[in-house]
A and B are shown apart, each in its own frame.
Chain A
Amino acid sequence: MSAEFLIKTLLALFFLGGVLNLAGLLTWVERKQSAVMQDRIGANRAWIEFKSPWLRPVNWLLRPLNVLGIFHSLADAVKMFVKEDFMPRGADKFLYNLAPVISVVFALLSFAAIPFGNVLQVGARSINLQIADVNAGVLFVFAMMSLGVYGVILAGFSSNNNYAYLGGMRAASQMLSYEITMGISLMGIVLAYGTLGLQDIVRSQGGYFFDGWLPAWGFTVQPLAFILFMTAALAETKRVPFDLPEGESEIIGYFVEYSGMKFGMFFLTDLVETVLVACLMTTFFLGGWQVPYLSADGFHFPWGAVWLLPHLAVAVLGMVSFILKVVFFNWFFMAIRWTLPRFRYDQLMHLGWKILFPASLLNVIVTSVVVVMRS
């Protein structure tokens, strides 16, 4: 029992540590990727260097990181921590302090259900590389994401600021509208694979089409749901094409009154949610930890070649493939964020209710008919 507990703790530490680091690194990715996209160089002046001649080798190691500007994330964190923690007069003290915590905690909790690898055999013990194998994982993730909305609403509500209040309302209506599309578009996946458990969904994506050439990943089975879910999920993260709740530069969002690390937590929530959405996209539509042509004992290529691998290598390859897919989606979301302009509010609602919602319903109906006809 205690061994079980220890293993789960280690898994949670490993996964959440990875997620938080990735989220922190995303601020750097955001700066640099936008810079490279726009023919700029990007932030590179946060520089760590030691004066002492004894530490010269350390300097030598730090230099590439300095040149790449990675320490800007660190500088950000320092800035957030040392800034004044301001609370407006008349704000509800308890709710005001609670709101950022709610946001970030529920965003992080969702990761518990995401499988980042297949079962790992260590001696006689088999470890499921997933923090909590909830058998209704899809529902769990959605529940957590919906609870995260409370953080946003409470932030707007408790700041004693009408602009923040309006921002909170905007955020709530946007997130609730898009959550519906998100849920319904995923029903297609649930119907197609017949399970609500995320690990089972990933396992079901191990098949192949066209004589074993094309892996039967989610996006080949449910291409429409892929696009719908991605759009809705991007809206959930409240980042640029859908950043009306925040409107960093002009329309004043729900966290106007927040400063210091409390603002930092909202900021972190956005990035954690970006990672979360990338993980969900990977799990549902890109085969999670599946590697093309890799089964439990090694590679079986469709042209007949076989390359047998030990169990550990297969497990590690699975995890690496999961991480690569997540990183790819993060890159892709950043690319979208720096390509598209913001929607107008009516366009946003129009897109959500009149395009995405009917399309996702249609997807569910078609999928149901196909599933019933095939069985």
Chain B
Amino acid sequence: MATKVMERQELNFWDRTYLPTVVIGLWVTSGHFFKNLILHALHSLGLFKGIRAAVTFEYPEEARPLSRRARTRHRLTQRKDGTPRCVACMMCETVCPARCINIVAGEHPDPNIEKYPVSFDLDLGKCVYCGFCVEVCPEDAIRMDTRILDIAAYSRDQMKLDIKELLNPRSTLLYKK
């Protein structure tokens, strides 16, 4: 038989009094308590600020550090003259699994560029932050590197970004009170 019989470990006398485990538990928690307490005290004197006494980030005042590759809110990159780099090739609109990009193309005066977006709407209420639009763009025209995380709105309409907001993050929309 290939059955492996596991012996059930009986609790010994000390285990059943609970005392050793209680002492170990108190040792661990008190260790944290006194270490953090001393650190908090030193911080209030302005010392050892580099060592954190708590893992908490007090969010609105203090943002959690983001990884460099974190995908945050979208933006459209600009040429030197401030016009969008986007050539309205519709690649991102096509690849987007959430179908939240809506581009209206217009003819660009420069024949080398051919097209430009007359309007570029992105509905953040639908976006799943997959980043496909960034991957697929041939012109490096759309990026997700604004580091904006606090996206909140009172209605679905307010979640929609238009080309102005995408070109200049935090310039329009909710951010204007």
Give chain A's interface residues, CB within 8 Å of chain B.
Answer: 33, 35-41, 227, 335-336, 338-340, 351, 355
Contacts and interface: CB of A to CB of B under 8 A. Distances in A.
Contact of A37 (B32, B40, B55): B32
Contacts of A38: 32
A39 B58 contact: no
14 contacts: A36-B32, A36-B36, A39-B53, A40-B54, A41-B54, A41-B56, A41-B58, A338-B29, A339-B22, A339-B29, A340-B22, A351-B18, A355-B16, A355-B17
A35 B36 CA distance: 10
Q: Which of B28, B29, B58 has the most CB of A within 10 A?
A: B29
A37 B32 CA distance: 5
A330 B5 CA distance: 47
A41 B18 CA distance: 30
A340 B27 CA distance: 12
Interface string B10-31: 0000001111001001101110
Interface of B: 16-19, 22, 25-26, 28-30, 32-33, 36-37, 40, 53-56, 58
5 tightest CB-CB pairs across the interface, nearest first?
A: A41-B56, A339-B25, A339-B29, A37-B33, A36-B36
B33 A335 contact: yes
Given A335-B26, A336-B26, A340-B25, A39 B18 contact: no
A38 B29 CA distance: 8
A35 B54 contact: yes
Contacts of B53: 36, 39
Q: Which of A39, A336, A355 has the most CB of B within 10 A?
A: A39
Tell me the dominant secondary structure on chain A's binding face: helix
Contacts of A39: 32, 36, 53-56
A192 to B, nearest CB: 23
Nearest to B31: A37
Given A335-B29, A336-B26, A339-B25, A36 B17 contact: no
Nearest to A356: B17
Contact of B30 (A40, A335, A340): A335
A335 B16 CA distance: 21
B26 A339 contact: yes
Contact of B55 (A40, A335, A339): A40
A335 B29 CA distance: 7
A35 B58 CA distance: 14
A33 B34 CA distance: 10
Contacts of B40: 36
Contacts of B55: 39-40
Contacts of A340: 22, 25
Nearest to B36: A36
A227 B28 CA distance: 20
A353 to B, nearest CB: 14
Nearest to A338: B29
Contacts of B19: 227
Nearest to B39: A36
A40 B40 CA distance: 11
